Structures are given as structure tokens and as C-alpha cells.
Amino acid sequence: MKHTHAPTRRQFALLTASLLAAATPLAHAQAWPGKPIKIVVPFPPGGSTDLLARRLGEKLAVALGQPVVVENKPGAGGTTGADGVAKSPADGYTLLMGVTGSNAIAASLYPKLPYDPVKDFAPVSQVVSAPLVLAVNATSPIKTVAEYIAAARAQPMSYGTPGNGTSMHLTGEMFDLATGVKLTHVPYRGSAPAMNDLLGGSLASMFGDFLVLLPQIKAGKVRAIAVTSARRHPLLPEVPTITESGIAALNGFEASSWQGLFAPAATPRDIMTRLNTEVVKALDSADIKEFFGSQGFIVAGSSPEQFKSFIEVEVPKWGRVVKAANVKVE
């Protein structure tokens, strides 16, 4: 006859602990979200990042059954808002709509950056990307990248950007480093004044935001010489990529402006999984694709792992440009 033994106190404690551990993800999933979620936009209202956060927030609010509030927290090139999220509780209630500047370039641009773009965030998903455009005034005789380089070697060539240390500025520096030309960088306080000078003829060229330049390109006032993405943009299919210029030094040249959703590091895996599922689902919806696509964005939902790998490539890539070009911000 076999005898069954009652579990010892130690065995009972271990069994209880293992059951609780197994139930923890389920408890998180059932409990979250139990209150409104906040998406921090590290720029003022009205810009593209703000617009993206609000449209995505509307979708997430319906899917998650809780209000999703957008909070604008501008300052220091987006790093003020990013730092606030990095130091927030890792509970899934405070998220960041991060950008190339705050979550890649800032790592090397600001020596005293109070957060680590790789270690202090849990990437949820990339949201969108958009190439930059190398453009000149429509009256310029320059029509190709090769002609642009030749003109820059013949006499000083200026290019305008929305500011020192922006992705547009660093793309110009990357172009300099690759080709050996020395363009004259003219930083402005935003894209609008740079565009005004390009249209007025006092600025020779721009490495500009696709969304800003597109209307002027379509109106025939600005000529797009090339886009900085790996592939041509669907809204400007006739404009080649910089790589397509045929210049060996520019083979593989790629730079993009991107936005993505981040949570603080150590956010529970089950919350991250739910967030990613709903974000990707929202980005795959027809109305979001149509709306963002019409603005010039390439919708780019991803897994957390894919986005993390992307960030780990972007940070050192821009770091090399900042160091080689000795870029500094005040």
C-alpha cells in the first residue's frame, strides 16, 4: 500500500510562490490599464510629433478602454520631455513619443544628457519614418546630386536646416564627410524661416523635412534633387535616392527622421506586449495608413525587439557623425 505524504511547509511555500509567479503576468494584463494613459510629446503642440501622438492616442483609447492624454513637454531639443518619461514609474501609464533627436542623436550631442537613450527606455514600436530631401530653388540650374557636388566644389554652397544638431544638420555633415565637400551650414529657428530664404533665393539649398518641403515641391517652387531614404518615396516617385546618384562615396547613404513609442525601462513584459499589439494594430488600420501616408510618412510598426535593434544602430551611427564633424550645441 502506497502512502501519500502531506507537503512540508517549505514545499508548500515553494508551490505557492511558483503559482503566484505564474499568475503575475495575468494579473498585470487584467489590471492594466486601470486609469488614463499619458503620451508625452517633447515638443510644442501643432507639430508632426504632436499630431502623430494624438491620432495614435485616439486609437489606443478605444482599444484599451481608457483615455489616452497627450502632454506636451518641450525643451532642449526634446530631451526635457524624454528625461521626464525615463524617470517615470515603469507601470505603462507614462509613454514617450520619441524622435530621432531625443532618442538617438542626443546621446552624443549632449555630454551631460541625464538619461541613456538605450538603457533607460523600453521601445514599444516604431511608428513612422520619413526621408529628408536635398532641395534647391526651382530656378537653380542644379538638377542632380553630381551637379550639386560640382557646384559646391566650385564655390561655397549653403544649406539651411531647422537648427544646430538636428537630424537635417547632421545629414548635411554626413554628406560632407562622405563626399569631401564642405557645405556651409546655416541653422535657423525652425523650418519655416529656412524655407522662406530658399524660396527668396538667399539660401542655396536645404536638407529639409519631407513634410515641410513636399507642398513647395508640388507647387513647382522648389526642386527636389534627391531623398535620403534607401528607397524612393511613393509621393515623389520621380525623385531618386542619394544612393542612386551613382557616386561611389554615397553608396548606402541613408538618413531618416523617425518617431516611435517608448515606455520607461523595466515596464512589465505583459504590458509591453499589449501595448505593442494595439499600436501595431492601430498603425495597420486603413484610416491611419491613409492619413499618415498622405502627410508623407512611411508607417513603420515594429516589434519591440526590432525597434530596440534599430535604436542600437542609430545611436552610434549619429554619434560617429557628431564626433567626426565636431558638432556642438549651446
Q: Which domain holds residue 136?
A: 131-250
- What secondary structure does DSSP assign to 144-162, as a single string? SHHHHHHHHHHS--EEEES
Residue 7 has pLDDT above 60, yes or no: no
Residue 16 lies in a domain: no
Q: Are residues 155 and 208 in the same domain?
A: yes
Q: DSSP state, 76?
A: G
Q: Are residues 138 and 151 in the same domain?
A: yes
Confidence of residue 8 (pLDDT cuts 50, 70, 90): low
Residue 105 lies in a domain: yes
Q: Are residues 230 and 140 in the same domain?
A: yes
Q: Are residues 169 and 90 in the same domain?
A: no
Contact between residue 119 and residue 186 where contact means Cβ atoms under 8 Å apart: no
Residue 104 lies in a domain: yes
pLDDT tens track for 299-330: 989 999 999 999 999 999 999 999 999 999 87
Write down the residue that cell numbers 525587439 correspond to.
305
Residue 31 lies in a domain: no
pLDDT tens track for 68-93: 999 999 999 899 999 999 999 999 99
Rounded-to-5 percentages of helix, strand, coil across the chain: 45, 20, 35
Q: Are residues 51 and 120 in the same domain?
A: yes
Domain boundary among 234, 250, 266: 250
pLDDT at position 295: 87
Q: Which CATH number characterizes residue 99's domain?
A: 3.40.190.150
Domain boundary among 250, 279, 303: 250
Residue 29 has pLDDT above 70, yes or no: no
Helix (H) or strand (E) holding 18: helix 9-31
Q: Are residues 124 and 136 in the same domain?
A: no
Q: Are residues 66 and 155 in the same domain?
A: no
Residue 11 has pLDDT above 70, yes or no: no
Q: Are residues 109 and 157 in the same domain?
A: no
pLDDT at position 327: 95
Residue 24 has pLDDT above 50, yes or no: no
pLDDT tens track for 109-167: 999 999 999 999 999 999 999 999 999 999 999 999 999 999 999 999 999 999 999 99
**Mean pLDDT (the chain, rounded):** 92
Residue 76 lies in a domain: yes
* Per-residue cell: 3: 502512502
- What secondary structure does DSSP assign to 143-206, as a single string? -SHHHHHHHHHHS--EEEESSTTSHHHHHHHHHHHHH----EEEE-SSHHHHHHHHHHTSS-EE
Number of structural domains (the chain) is: 2
Q: Specify the pairing of strand 298-299 against strand 121-137.
A: antiparallel
CA 11, chain centre distance (Å): 50
What's the rounded Cα separation, in Å, for the pair 91 and 52? Answer: 22
If phi > 0 it is left, if psi is from -120 to 50 it is alpha, else beta; for residue 290 that is: alpha
Q: Are residues 154 and 298 in the same domain?
A: no
Residue 330 lies in a domain: no
Residue 24 lies in a domain: no
